[in-house]
Chain A
Amino acid sequence: MTMFDRYLAFGRRGVEAIQSLGRATLLLFHSSAWGGPGSAGFSDLIKQIHSVGVRSLSIILVAGFFVGMVLGLQGYTILSDFGSEAALGTMVSLTLLRELGPVMTALLFAGRAGSALTAEIGLMKATEQLSAMEMMGVDPLKRVITPRLWAGLIAMPVLALLFSTVGIWGGAFVAVDMLGIDEGAYWGNMQASVDFYEDVVKGIIKSVVFGLVVTWIAVFQGYDSIPTSEGIGKATTQTVVISSLAVLGLDFVLTAVMLGGV
């Protein structure tokens, strides 16, 4: 391969990346609104919330509890150096509500539900179910993609809230029951410094954005995959990699815009 060929290949990859971004945007544009012939009903949305939301519940709850406990332990070792263990509740709750809750949930969601979505849609494509729908005059975007997108959008904030809640109680378990911090100090300082709109609502906004981005990437990777077993495997990996990076990058932007005052 000559130098010039490499140069050409590099350019081709750039063009391909922009092309697939364009296809992804068109997919989002065509599938975000409900309606059209043979489009999905409300019961499809319920089914999808079940498969992306309810089925991710166990991993989210267990991870949240342990993250909260670790935050409690680690925060205690640092804060006790300054004699301010009483601020532990504030630290745990703000960390979870603002950053770790939405971000960790989105990362776990990408691994648990995002990859499953990609594999499912990729398999539909490989077994030509999507073409069969088109033959019947049913728009596969409206029928398959729309309920999945909305299910991700609805499930993610609920999961993130549950993650933070379980984490805060996990932190309380370590702080109050194991390390002997005063229970009143833990909850009282938390209530004094956590603001409902500033911290809770902005965390929810973050997780809605992450929900949209992760499910969008997942359904697009499945819809755009090469319909072979190898192609589906590759698309699944791509989903996890791209959506994790997108979540981490977006998190910085959202934090800077909403909380950082940059």
Chain B
Amino acid sequence: MRMRFVELTVGSFMVMGIIALVLMAFRVSGLSSQTSSNTYVLKARFENLAGLTERAKVSMSGVTIGRVTKVYLDPEWYSAVVEMEIDESMSTLTLDTSASILTAGLLGEKYIGLTVGAEDEFLEDGDWIEDTQSALVLEELIGRFLFNKAEG
């Protein structure tokens, strides 16, 4: 009788541990949002990423539609290449879609914002987004401002 009680409490203890692990996986670290649903890959070339990292959001009109999966430097062009996974439900991005690196708030994280164009054809898996706009780098802006001041 006593042993049965002990076994029961230890069993529920371990079950609580497993529930905690599952909560950590899906509720806290959002593991499901990465692996679930079908996605396709788009690539884009940027002059300057200014702190855009892997797992950053890709959004359109403020709604997240994908994630950055890979960031690397193209040794031939000396420019940064960003690979992003876009949700299959957003398969109707036009060929002249433009991508720009934006900042959430003044000091927030960097993300990619997409804006659709007017073409009839759509981007497919592995396509390049041609029209890109780099991140605003505060130092460059200040530098340009000071330079103009000195000239004027």
Q: Do residues B6 and A165 form an inter-chain contact, with CB atoms below 8 A?
A: no
Q: Do residues B29 and A196 form an inter-chain contact, with CB atoms below 8 A?
A: yes
* Docked complex Cα distance between A161 and B17 (Å): 7
Interface string of A31-53 (1 = CB under 8 A from B): 00000000000010011011001
CB-defined contacts of A200 to chain B, threshold 8 Å: 21, 24-25, 28-29
Please report which residues of chain A, range 54-107, place their CB below 8 angstroms from some CB of chain B when the two chains form the complex: 54, 57, 82-84, 93, 97
Q: Do residues B13 and A158 form an inter-chain contact, with CB atoms below 8 A?
A: yes
Q: Do residues A158 and B31 form an inter-chain contact, with CB atoms below 8 A?
A: no
Interface string of B3-37 (1 = CB under 8 A from A): 10011011001101100110111011111010000
In the complex, which range does the number of interface residues on chain A fall in? 20 to 34
Q: Do residues A192 and B23 form an inter-chain contact, with CB atoms below 8 A?
A: no
Q: Do residues A50 and B6 form an inter-chain contact, with CB atoms below 8 A?
A: yes
Q: Do residues B10 and A158 form an inter-chain contact, with CB atoms below 8 A?
A: no
* Docked complex Cα distance between A47 and B6 (Å): 6
Q: Do residues A54 and B9 form an inter-chain contact, with CB atoms below 8 A?
A: yes
Most buried by B among A191, A194, A195: A191
CB-defined contacts of B45 to chain A, threshold 8 Å: none
Cβ of A187 under 8 Å from chain B: yes
CB-defined contacts of B75 to chain A, threshold 8 Å: none
Cβ of A224 under 8 Å from chain B: no
Report the nearest B residue to A155, measured CB to CB. B13
Q: Do residues A84 and B105 form an inter-chain contact, with CB atoms below 8 A?
A: yes
Cβ of A174 under 8 Å from chain B: no
Q: Do residues A84 and B107 form an inter-chain contact, with CB atoms below 8 A?
A: yes
Q: Do residues B9 and A84 form an inter-chain contact, with CB atoms below 8 A?
A: no
Majority secondary structure, A binding face = helix
In the complex, which range does the number of interface residues on chain B fall in? 20 to 34
* Docked complex Cα distance between A49 and B3 (Å): 13
Q: Do residues B17 and A158 form an inter-chain contact, with CB atoms below 8 A?
A: yes
Please report which residues of chain A, range 114-166, place their CB below 8 angstroms from some CB of chain B when the two chains form the complex: 155, 157-158, 161-162, 164-165
Given contacts A158-B13, A164-B20, 19 further A-B contacts (CB under 8 A): A43-B3, A46-B7, A53-B10, A54-B13, A83-B105, A84-B107, A158-B17, A158-B20, A162-B20, A168-B28, A191-B29, A191-B33, A192-B57, A194-B29, A194-B30, A196-B29, A196-B31, A200-B25, A200-B28
Query: Can you report 27 residue pairs joining A to B where beta carbons are below 8 Å apart?
Result: A49-B10, A50-B6, A50-B9, A50-B13, A53-B10, A54-B9, A84-B107, A93-B28, A157-B17, A158-B14, A158-B16, A158-B17, A161-B20, A164-B24, A165-B20, A168-B28, A190-B30, A191-B27, A191-B29, A191-B30, A194-B29, A194-B30, A195-B55, A196-B31, A200-B21, A200-B24, A200-B29
Residues of B within 8 A of A (CB): 3, 6-7, 9-10, 13-14, 16-17, 20-21, 23-25, 27-31, 33, 55, 57, 105, 107-109
Residues of A within 8 A of B (CB): 43, 46-47, 49-50, 53-54, 57, 82-84, 93, 97, 155, 157-158, 161-162, 164-165, 168, 187, 190-192, 194-196, 199-200
